Structure 1
């Protein structure tokens, strides 16, 4: 078995950290000029793409070429789609209410407070989660069945996230459905097909990396992403925002909170 190139991997870490810092710095400048820090959501996916591209370039001649190509292409497909989708959704130029609430307690400069409460934490999470990609790029073992499972899981997650976002966008465009609850399509089986898709995508990327030592050691990276989606800034905030809508309590009782499952009972109401 080819040993893992620890010195070369260690030498790449400052460069991938720089990639994250550059993405955050550019995003912060744009946010200040537009007076809305929710632009960070647009940069979230592309930030991982930047790390993947830098790591792919620096791992040339070290890791398995098939795994390297899979990781950079799958990350790019996920990250760029997500960035375009969120950018299109936020094209009205208004600050997201979640960020208004988050930055409301700013004791002085709102921008300085945003640096501490938004950009620094998200930069740390981005870098830690991306360690799966970074380690996987340098892993030399050939792609095997675990990686194939990872690809299948990635495809599943990408479909759920893409279709779920499309269904939600169509729902919001219909004036007759304003103020109601989307409970059809993928949203019939999980209250958060987009967040489930994100979690599946990153678990799939982890399996691709974990197919060769020492990728398995990065298990905490996708675990952090899943925890963030299910218990921190994803699912809880979305459900808090929806809690006052008519029929939402019935939707909570009948629809799986995360994993896609058959509805627990027939529902009536808005679709």
Structure 2
């Protein structure tokens, strides 16, 4: 059995960094032209898809073709679905309040501040979080049951993300629901089905990297750990719930519904 292609992986890290940076710089140029920086959220998923495709091409001949294809397809499907969803959701809207508040703190050029604090930071995160996708590309060993388990966990995550997003969009499309708390479908089982789905997606991709060997697993474990912190303690769940806490009925909903991991709702708060 051939050894893991560490030298090719090291070069691939550079290609992945260049891809993430190029994606964010192109997005920055589009945002400046439009005068709206919320487009960077669309680029988040697209950047992961781009990194997966570039590393897939670079790893040709170095890694098992089935693992390379599996991890690339899963990442591209997840990334492009997320990008398309965010693009549809933001169509016709102005600047995202989060970015507007951030840019109000800028000293000097708002665009230069946005480049440093939003685009370059997100480009670095794309490179870091995509480590399992990169690491899985360069292992010559054939697929095992661990990769299958990773793909199943990824599928669970995509289901929660996609179905949760569709259910929320339909709920918001009804004018009578304006200002109300979404507590139907998957949202009865967890207050954040989309964030829980994202959590499962990246732990699933990490399992595929683990299938590539102990070394790739050790290199890439930082990815799902960082995503877990961001989703639960960082810019995901914590910030959203701080905003949602002002809505009528939130306290009762939070008392009966799981904060992250799905479970049946409590009968009484």
Q: Give TM-score scaled by structure 2 length.
A: 0.97
1:156-194 deviation digits (Å, cap 9, x = unpaired): 000000000000000111000100000010000000000
2:217 is the alignment partner of 1:216: yes
User: Which runs of 5 or more residues in structure 1 are unaligned?
Assistant: none
Matches of 1:2 and 1:262, distance apart in 2: 47
TM-aligned CA deviation for residue 265 of structure 1: 2.4
- Report the 3-state secondary structure (helix = DSSP H, G, I; strand = E; otherwise coil) of the residue aligned with 2:84: helix
- Report the 3-state secondary structure (helix = DSSP H, G, I; strand = E; otherwise coil) of the residue aligned with 2:208: helix
Matches of 2:21 and 2:9, distance apart in 1: 19
Matches of 2:11 and 2:163, distance apart in 1: 39
- Report the 3-state secondary structure (helix = DSSP H, G, I; strand = E; otherwise coil) of the residue aligned with 1:147: helix
TM-aligned CA deviation for residue 236 of structure 1: 1.3
Q: Which range moved further: 214-223 or 35-44?
A: 214-223
Runs of 4+ off more than 4 Å: none
1:99-157 deviation digits (Å, cap 9, x = unpaired): 11222211111111111211121111110011111110001111111111111100000
Question: Within 5 Å, which residues of 2 pair with 1:130-209?
Answer: 130-209=130-209
1:180-238 deviation digits (Å, cap 9, x = unpaired): 00001000000000010011011101101111212211111111111111111111121
TM-aligned CA deviation for residue 6 of structure 1: 1.4
2:132–2:208 CA contact under 8 A, matched in 1:
no
2:32–2:111 CA contact under 8 A, matched in 1:
yes
Matches of 1:46 and 1:255, distance apart in 2: 32
Matches of 2:139 and 2:224, distance apart in 1: 18
Q: Which residue of 1 aligns with 2:103?
A: 103
Q: Which residue of 1 aligns with 2:246?
A: 244
Over the aligned positions, Cα root-mean-square deviation in angstroms equals 1.1
Matches of 1:249 and 1:110, distance apart in 2: 37
User: Which runs of 5 or more residues in structure 2 are unaligned?
Assistant: none
Matches of 1:121 and 1:259, distance apart in 2: 28
Pair 1:266–1:183, CA change in 2 (3 A)? farther
- Report the 3-state secondary structure (helix = DSSP H, G, I; strand = E; otherwise coil) of the residue aligned with 1:137: helix
Matches of 1:93 and 1:25, distance apart in 2: 22
1:46-99 deviation digits (Å, cap 9, x = unpaired): 100000000000001111111100011000110000000000000014111111
Q: Give TM-score scaled by structure 1 length.
A: 0.96
2:11 is the alignment partner of 1:25: no
Q: Which range moved further: 220-229 or 78-87?
A: 220-229
2:232 is the alignment partner of 1:230: yes
Alignment coverage as a number of residue pairs? 267
2:151–2:204 CA contact under 8 A, matched in 1:
yes
TM-aligned CA deviation for residue 22 of structure 1: 0.9
Q: Which residue of 1 aligns with 2:262?
A: 260
TM-aligned CA deviation for residue 241 of structure 1: 1.8
1:4-32 deviation digits (Å, cap 9, x = unpaired): 11112212222211111110011101111
TM-aligned CA deviation for residue 266 of structure 1: 4.4
Q: Which range moved further: 91-100 or 178-187?
A: 91-100
Matches of 2:2 and 2:262, distance apart in 1: 40
